[in-house]
Structure 1
Amino acid sequence: MPAVFVLIWSTGFIVARYGMPHAPPLTFLSWRYALSALAFGLWIALSRPAFPRNGAQVLHLALTGVLMHAGYLGGVWAAVKAGIPAGTVALIVGLQPVLTALWVSASGQEARASARQWLGLLLGLLGLLLVVWRKLGTGEVTGFNLLLSIGALLCITVGTLYQKRHVKPCDVRTASFVQLLAALVVTLPLAALESEGMRWHPELIGALAWSVGALTLGASSLLYLLIQRGAATRVTSLMYLVPPCTALLAWLLFGEPLGPAVLAGMALTALGVSLVVRGAGR
């Protein structure tokens, strides 16, 4: 399940490359949330899983949806649209495992990260730097798009920790339905402020279909299950694998070069995540 999650989640920037030229970010995401919620609603109607009966649980799910969908995805897509290089965004949001480990160690909510895990986190960060370093200078970084990127990092980090602490185990279909509706309620009014309109190009339709079917119904559901079942530090360390996997996909799909530094970064990142996961099992 972790390998499938990383592979699908890594296609997010690939989708952005196809869809971003034809739609403003928040409008695209509003369509994504609405269609995904509709798909989950049909699935729920057919399978009839139990909804959370506790009102507080529904509120907890709604808050995680706002943080992990509207906040994280909205921040990343808006930052890229505002001109920040995708590699820079990947580096910033790639700090999530370190922030998570620092919080877990300081708060005592879970077992403190071991020396092996800290070594893995540092190796993963170094590998991430090697993967995205060549892309850092390919676009303009401003105070605005940097703030959006940092906001996305904080949203995914806080959302992960909040879900792990407050959301009790429940059916992933009903949980995702609540999260997506909450994200739509927040994103739709902001999308109405965007001046650019949607241009229904085949690339946009394909990007939207993949975003709904694979990224939301697939990867986001897997992330929910991984957080529900695993330690926060161990789960978030998987995010280190996303930029290297994205670089590999970009090489396969668009012919983007894979230099020695990128390959070395991929190897370091894989080693770092392995140390974090194996250290958590001890």
Structure 2
Amino acid sequence: MSTQNQTGTQTPPPAEEHRHADLIARIAPVLFLVFWSSGFGFAKVGLQHAPPLTFLALRYGIIVVVFLPLFFILKAQAPARAIGWLHIAVVGFLIQSVYFGLAYGGMNLGVSAGVTAVIASMQPLLVALASPFVTGERINLVKWVGLILGAVGAIIVIVGSQTEEMGAALDIGLILCVGSTVGMAAATLYQKRFPVKAHPVTINLIQYAVGLVTIAPMALTFESGPVDWSTGLFVALGWLVVANSLISISLLLFMLGRSEASKVSALFFLIPPVAAVFGWVLLGEQLTLVAIAGMAIAGFGVWLVSRPQAA
């Protein structure tokens, strides 16, 4: 039964709170997978209505407006030293400016949502390959096999997803997507090398603000295409801001807080096929059987690299 606190309001009993938390824990992985994977398809929808850098600047601007008052309302913890702000800003630049900037550019040049997701899923492989030089971690034989399988699978997906000869624009788009994955891997390695203790709201505010101040000037300088202020644009922006950013991040933090790190890592293996489904539903993008087989090979390779080692 409920209890009454000093203010006279009803509070749920501990058992009921645990049941609610357990229910959220069961559905959180599924919701996170759907919301995070959907970002690739909804980004391509948004790119039909605005140039890539302009679209990113709009997205970052909205998120900064949302997080700025939260920072003051929650009195969120900030880095204790100035160097901490710099480390967060560097990671923000690599993720928001390099990763998203190049990925959106690649999709704008014709790379499908599913292929973009597969290339992005290679990030753990790059991190594993560079870790011995950055963090001193060793790569065993199983992980080397995973690295090779991941690379082979990604190549199969890229080649098998094309139904006609690739043009120069699509070739450049694929290069941009590979560059975006390198940016995300660099961000991961940098964050491992220079961890900073701060509230998630503070970290997100800094990183999205860095994305805004770097992407917006480039959009104003290099893009002259019109923005179609239509329903499609607002739906894509709204979904990316609320579902793909705010809700996904909240779910991720919740799962990590309940020691679900290994399950969260496993979810990333399922992102490419789910992203491909969103690409098919939202944009009519098709994947061949060869591309699907490549996804399976790449996912297995990433799993081999990312799985925890036996004690």
Q: What TM-score range do you get, normalising by the shorter chain? A: 0.7 to 0.9
- Give the structure 2 partner of residue 198 of structure 1: 227
- Is the Cα–Cα contact under 8 Å of residues 77 and 202 in structure 2 kept in the other structure? yes
- For residues 135 and 255 of structure 1, the distance between their equivalents in structure 2, rounded to whole angstroms, comes to 13
When residues 214 and 171 of structure 1 are mapped into structure 2, their CA distance, relative to the original with a 3 A threshold, is: same
Residue from 45, 54, 58 that aligns with 2:81: 54
Task: Point out the more displaced range, 52-61 or 147-156.
Answer: 147-156
SS in 1 for 2:229: coil
- Give the structure 2 partner of residue 8 of structure 1: 35
- 1:155 and 2:199 matched: no
When residues 235 and 152 of structure 1 are mapped into structure 2, their CA distance, relative to the original with a 3 A threshold, is: farther
- Is the Cα–Cα contact under 8 Å of residues 117 and 280 in structure 1 kept in the other structure? no
Residue from 154, 178, 193 that aligns with 2:206: 178
When residues 21 and 248 of structure 1 are mapped into structure 2, their CA distance, relative to the original with a 3 A threshold, is: closer
Deviation at 1:74, TM superposition (A): 0.8
When residues 158 and 57 of structure 1 are mapped into structure 2, their CA distance, relative to the original with a 3 A threshold, is: same
- 1:247 and 2:276 matched: yes
- Give the structure 2 partner of residue 133 of structure 1: 159
- For residues 246 and 93 of structure 1, the distance between their equivalents in structure 2, rounded to whole angstroms, comes to 11
Task: Compute the TM-score of the two structures, normalised by the length of structure 2.
Answer: 0.74
When residues 221 and 60 of structure 1 are mapped into structure 2, their CA distance, relative to the original with a 3 A threshold, is: farther
- Is the Cα–Cα contact under 8 Å of residues 114 and 279 in structure 1 kept in the other structure? no
- Give the structure 2 partner of residue 118 of structure 1: 144
Deviation at 1:85, TM superposition (A): 5.1
**5+ long unaligned stretches in structure 1:** none
SS in 2 for 1:49: coil
- Is the Cα–Cα contact under 8 Å of residues 125 and 302 in structure 2 kept in the other structure? no
Deviation at 1:151, TM superposition (A): 3.1
- Is the Cα–Cα contact under 8 Å of residues 94 and 128 in structure 1 kept in the other structure? no
- Is the Cα–Cα contact under 8 Å of residues 46 and 236 in structure 2 kept in the other structure? yes
When residues 189 and 11 of structure 1 are mapped into structure 2, their CA distance, relative to the original with a 3 A threshold, is: same
- Is the Cα–Cα contact under 8 Å of residues 238 and 273 in structure 1 kept in the other structure? no
Which one-letter code corresponds to 2:293 in the other structure? Answer: A
When residues 99 and 153 of structure 1 are mapped into structure 2, their CA distance, relative to the original with a 3 A threshold, is: same
- Is the Cα–Cα contact under 8 Å of residues 52 and 108 in structure 2 kept in the other structure? yes
Q: Over aligned residues, Cα RMSD in angstroms?
A: 3.6
Mark the structure with the bigger radius of gyration: 2
Deviation at 1:195, TM superposition (A): 0.4
Q: Between the two proteins, what is the percent identity of the paired residues?
A: 34
SS in 1 for 2:137: coil
Task: Point out the more displaced range, 199-208 or 91-100.
Answer: 91-100
Deviation at 1:168, TM superposition (A): 1.9
Equivalent residues in 2 for 1:1-282, closer than 5 Å = 5-84=32-111, 86=113, 89-90=116-117, 92-107=119-134, 109-136=135-162, 139-142=166-169, 144-145=172-173, 147-193=175-221, 194-219=223-248, 241-253=270-282, 256-257=285-286, 259-280=288-309, 282=311
Task: Compute the TM-score of the two structures, normalised by the length of structure 1.
Answer: 0.81
